[in-house]
Amino acid sequence: MKKYFTLLLITFLIATQSLKAQLDMAFISNFSVTSDSPVNRLTWTAAKNHGVNSFTVERSTNGIDFKTVAILKATEKFNSETYIYPDTITSRDIMMYRLKIVSKTQFIFYSRMVFVKSKIPSTHTIQIIGNPVKDQLSFNYNSKNIQQADVKIYNLYGKVVFRQKIGCSTGINLVTIPLNSSFAPGMYVIEMNNGILSQTVKFIKQ
């Protein structure tokens, strides 16, 4: 009898906590994201703002692994409140977002997931000159400002076979890289990384 009573008590407590969670839940509506280079702008409305302690903005590129972008403290406004968060991005990947909502009673809820294709202007571009190439690789790199860039060349197995830092001036830069005998004929990938944006393009060595 005691065991049966304990089971009923546990069931009651679980049901009570579940009901309390539903009552405390901050109903999120109008959760959306738009891309306005170089920012992804998130907006949402908390219908029960007075019950929210904080919002955690989480971002993912695969919908499984999420990274915390920002933690926003809820305002003191009663009832409905609208929030806007600008997330600065440096990738053209499809970005997925969700909100982790913590109530003032420390219950945790998650919003639905929204996604957007980030818009980044091609201010830094690579243009191969004379592809396929023979004894040297020449390309134009359009740089937005004066900066250092890391140049890498990968073979088809993903191994880095060449790496060098170069200085870029504003505008179009002509870059020439000698291809010695260690470069066997075949396809390669060149990557330009300025610390903010990484771009790649394929070329063929004859």
Q: pTM value?
A: 0.51
- Return the structure tokens found at 52: 């929210």
The full DSSP string for 47-100 is TTGGGEEEEEEEEESSSSS-EEEEEEE--S--S-EEEEEEEE----SEEEEEEE
* 169 in any annotated domain: yes
CATH number of domain containing 150: 2.60.40.2550
106 with 185, same domain: the answer is no
Same domain, yes or no, for 174 and 143? yes
Q: Kindly report the CATH number assigned to the domain that includes residue 110.
A: 2.60.40.10
Count how many domains the chain has.
Answer: 2
Tokens of 112: 């639905």
Structural domain containing residue 34:
26-117
Please give the chain's pLDDT, 206 residues, in tens. Answer: 544 444 444 444 444 444 443 433 457 888 999 887 668 899 999 988 999 999 999 999 888 899 999 999 999 999 899 999 988 776 667 889 999 999 998 989 899 999 888 665 555 578 888 888 988 999 988 887 888 889 999 987 788 899 999 898 888 889 999 998 889 999 898 988 887 777 888 898 98
